[in-house]
């Protein structure tokens, strides 16, 4: 009986640690961050959870880039975040290249990090487990500064390696309240946090306007049509054509990156398909929504407007 009670206590502590770590890193579906660059904006949204590598819980993120000419570019690589029990923040990325798939495992932040803390930042390897490079992170400065109108503790973290072909040396500023605040190199700051939406609260400027979608950078693996009618009320049709068979996922999101519904999630053969989306099934407010089609790790997204 005593052993059984001890097991329950251990499980309860483990669950509490997991929830606490996720809260520290603001890992919650619907949260997003918008960063300003010289010629573009990037929006990083947490859109889903999934289990990888022996039951480890990861949060899937989606990257949108809005260039100065109002084109919307999607990152078809896969990115997952996880709060580790030892206080580190991990980002797992899977890059699909022409000849191979490269996996990077970045441990780029530590909650409550102190000046002088140092750890392995990245181990890049191929699918056959061949190590490509090992990089390091180090807290090189800690100071008080303002972020979104309040004084906060900010940490400067340097990332570096001695790779003979692609040497790495840059830095990022973090705070425990929002995560990454900005990124820079020897030339100065290259990106800064414009705004974010965390656990129901908006900070700074969270606008991310999509005017058009550029299809030029996508392969001819499939075609996603504009929904019709658009604007719509209460139903609209979404058509797409598949040139190669594969796993198909068609999901609708709101402008905050929160999933509304999944319309398709199955293996499909070559051909043209049409799916109907209805607000009657989802009780939505009027506004802009995004529908994203993913086939064989390639993604394309378009916007649609629901008008009451």
The full set of domains in the chain, from first to last, is: 2-200 (2.40.360), 218-306 (2.60.40.2550)
pTM exceeds 0.75, yes or no: no
Mean pLDDT over residues 271-292, rounded? 86
Cβ(249)–Cβ(293) below 8 Å: yes
Residue 279, φ and ψ in degrees, nearest 5: -75, -15
The rounded Cα 67 to chain-centroid distance in angstroms is 18
Higher pLDDT among residues 308 and 123, named by residue: 308
Distances from the Cα of 206 to the Cα of 21, 32, 195, 197, 202, angstroms: 25, 9, 5, 7, 7
Cβ(37)–Cβ(191) below 8 Å: yes
CB neighbours of 274 closer than 8 A, spacing ≥ 6? 237, 238, 239
User: Which residue's entry shows tokens 């409550």?
Assistant: 112
- 1-29: pLDDT as tens digits: 444 444 433 333 333 333 334 444 577 88
End-to-end C-alpha distance for the chain, whole angstroms: 60
Exposed/middle/buried for residue 37 (C-beta within 10 Å: 0-12, 13-18, 19+): middle
Distances from the Cα of 68 to the Cα of 36, 40, 45, 63, angstroms: 11, 6, 20, 16
Mean pLDDT over residues 99-116, rounded? 76
- 200-251: pLDDT as tens digits: 888 998 887 654 444 444 445 578 899 999 889 999 999 998 877 777 889 9
């Amino acid at each position: 009986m005593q052993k059984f009670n001890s097991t329950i206590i251990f499980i309860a502590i483990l669950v509490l640690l997991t929830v606490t770590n996720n809260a520290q890193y603001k890992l919650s579906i619907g949260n997003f961050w918008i960063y300003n660059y010289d010629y573009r904006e990037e929006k990083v949204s947490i859109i889903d959870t999934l289990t990888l590598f022996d039951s480890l819980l990861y949060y899937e993120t989606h990257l949108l880039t809005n260039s100065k000419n109002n084109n919307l570019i999607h990152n078809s690589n896969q990115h997952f975040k996880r709060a580790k029990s030892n206080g580190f923040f991990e980002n797992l990325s899977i890059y699909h290249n022409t000849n191979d798939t490269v996996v990077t495992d970045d441990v780029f932040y530590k909650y409550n990090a102190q000046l002088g803390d140092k750890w392995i930042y990245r181990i890049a390897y191929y699918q056959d487990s061949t190590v490509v490079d090992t990089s390091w992170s180090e807290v090189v400065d800690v100071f008080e500064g303002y972020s979104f109108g309040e004084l906060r503790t900010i940490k400067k973290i340097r990332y570096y390696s001695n790779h003979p072909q692609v040497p790495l040396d840059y830095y990022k500023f973090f705070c425990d309240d929002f995560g990454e605040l900005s990124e820079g190199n020897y030339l100065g700051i290259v990106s800064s946090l414009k705004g974010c939406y965390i656990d129901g609260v908006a900070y700074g400027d969270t606008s991310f306007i999509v005017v058009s979608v550029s299809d030029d950078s996508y392969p001819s693996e499939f075609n996603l049509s504009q929904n019709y009618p658009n604007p719509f009320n209460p139903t609209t049709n979404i058509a797409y054509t598949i040139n190669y068979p594969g796993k198909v996922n068609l999901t609708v999101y709101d402008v905050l990156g929160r999933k509304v519904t999944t319309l398709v999630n199955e293996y499909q053969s070559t051909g043209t398909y049409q799916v109907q989306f209805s607000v009657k099934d989802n009780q939505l407010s009027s506004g802009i929504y995004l529908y994203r089609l993913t086939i064989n790790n390639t993604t394309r997204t378009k916007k649609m407007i629901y008008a009451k």
